[in-house]
Amino acid sequence: MSRIFLLIFAGLALCAGQAMAETLRIGVIGAGNVGGTLGTLWAKAGHSVMFSSRHPEQLGDLAKAAGPNARAGSVDEAAAWGEVIVLSVPYGAMPALAEQLKGKLDGKVVLSTSNPFSGRDGETGRKALAQGVALADRHYLPGVHLVRAFNAIGYAAMKDQSGQGKAIPVFADDAQARALGARLVHDAGFIPVLLPLARADQGLPGGPLSGAWNEAELKRQLDR
């Protein structure tokens, strides 16, 4: 086997090894409706979760309700502790968070549920919508393995485990992001459908891939 093939093979094995670790340390930045719901699902599925926000002292009850695998911490603590990071904040927070987290998430998989809205998120939201949300994420989060998922399903439907059988688009480009993104979606009780980041705008609220579909319905939507 040529050296180049061996290197590719070793890289894939490494990615698969990371993705297949038995449990993950998940740092949740933004522990509101979505971050709180998803973090609780992952903690109950056996992963270790740290919920964080600008007010970690308010997250004790959430961590307690999520069970022994969950705790609360500051944003910096969750960023350092998590081997995978879930970012679930109003998009208007992205400039400040990018500054706060500069260099701290490099090389980590970051799954963002965060959506830009022109009203709620002001100029930051309008800019992200104009340039495309994945490009905007890359601007704020250079150096991470980016995943976008859970962007256009309401948090109540995430919570409702009768949602099992529902498919969630997972927008990611590199192998590590695709593997961990798919795993997080699976472990929250949903079926991951992998798509390139170039399609991430289609998964925003109101987009053609938004809503709660089963796998066959979502695949039909993709072909339209």
Ligand X SMILES: NC(=O)c1ccc[n+]([C@@H]2O[C@H](COP(=O)([O-])OP(=O)(O)OC[C@H]3O[C@@H](n4cnc5c(N)ncnc54)[C@H](OP(=O)(O)O)[C@@H]3O)[C@@H](O)[C@H]2O)c1
Binding-site ranges for ligand X (CB under 6 A) = 29-35, 53-55, 75, 88-91, 93, 96-97, 113-115, 150-151, 154-155
Distances (CA, A) of 48 to 3, 22, 36, 52: 38, 11, 13, 13
CA–CA distance, 157 with 153 (Å, rounded to integer): 7
Residue number, 19 or 204, with CB nearest to ligand X:
204
Residue number, 72 or 109, with CB nearest to ligand X:
72
Residue 118 CB, nearest distance to ligand X (Å)? 12
Residue 163's CB: how many other CB atoms inside 10 A? Answer: 16
Cα four-point dihedral sign 101, 107, 109, 115: positive
* Interacting residues of 96 by C-beta distance below 8 A, sequence separation 6+: none
Which of 34, 33, 76, 68 lies closest to 52 in space, CA to CA?
76
Residue number, 19 or 203, with CB nearest to ligand X:
203
- Residue at 12: amino acid letter: L
Nearest residue to ligand X on Cβ basis? 32
Residue number, 95 or 143, with CB nearest to ligand X:
95
